[in-house]
Chain A
Amino acid sequence: MSDELSALGRYTGPATLVLSSLADGPKHGYALTKDIEHFAGIHLAPGTLYAALDRLVESGLIEGLEAVGRRRPYKITALGATALMAHLQAQRRVTETGLGRLSGAWGTP
Chain B
Amino acid sequence: MTTTERRARRLLRWYPRSWRETHEEEFVALLEDSIEDRPFWPGRSFNIVLNALRLRSTEFRTSHRRMLLSSSVPLVLLAVAIGIATNGFGLLSISGPTKGGLPYNSGKGVPYDKMPDYLSVYIGPNDIGYTPKAYLAAPNGSSNDPLLGRIAPIFASNLTTLLGHDYSGIGFVRLGSSPWSLSCKPASVYTESAGGGQTVTTIPCPSTTLILPNVVGMVTPTAVGELSGLGVGVVIQNVRSRSVPVGHIVSTSPRGGTTVHARQQVVVDISVPN
Contacts and interface: CB of A to CB of B under 8 A. Distances in A.
Contacts of A67: 25-26
Contacts of B19: 54
A33 interface: yes
Contacts of B48: 45-47
A85 B123 contact: yes
B87 A3 contact: yes
B5 to A, nearest CB: 10
Contacts of B54: 51
Contact of A28 (B26, B50, B80, B87): B26
Nearest to B155: A78
B58 to A, nearest CB: 9
B26 A81 contact: no
Max chain B CB contacts within 10 Å: which of A3, A43, A51, A77? A3
Give the size range of A's interface with the partner.
35 or more
Interface residues of B, number: 48
Contacts of A85: 94, 122-123
B23 A50 contact: yes
A48 interface: yes
Contact of B26 (A23, A51, A54, A72): A72
B55 A7 contact: no
Given A29-B30, A46-B48, A78-B221, A7 B83 contact: yes
Interface of A: 1-4, 6-7, 23-24, 28-30, 33, 43, 45-51, 54, 58-60, 67, 69-72, 76-79, 81-83, 85-87, 89-90, 93
15 contacts: A3-B83, A23-B124, A24-B124, A46-B30, A46-B44, A50-B51, A51-B54, A70-B25, A70-B29, A71-B29, A78-B155, A79-B80, A81-B123, A89-B93, A93-B93
Given A2-B83, A47-B50, 19 more contacts: A3-B87, A28-B29, A29-B30, A43-B38, A45-B47, A46-B44, A48-B47, A49-B30, A50-B23, A50-B51, A54-B19, A58-B273, A60-B220, A76-B124, A78-B127, A79-B170, A81-B170, A89-B90, A93-B93
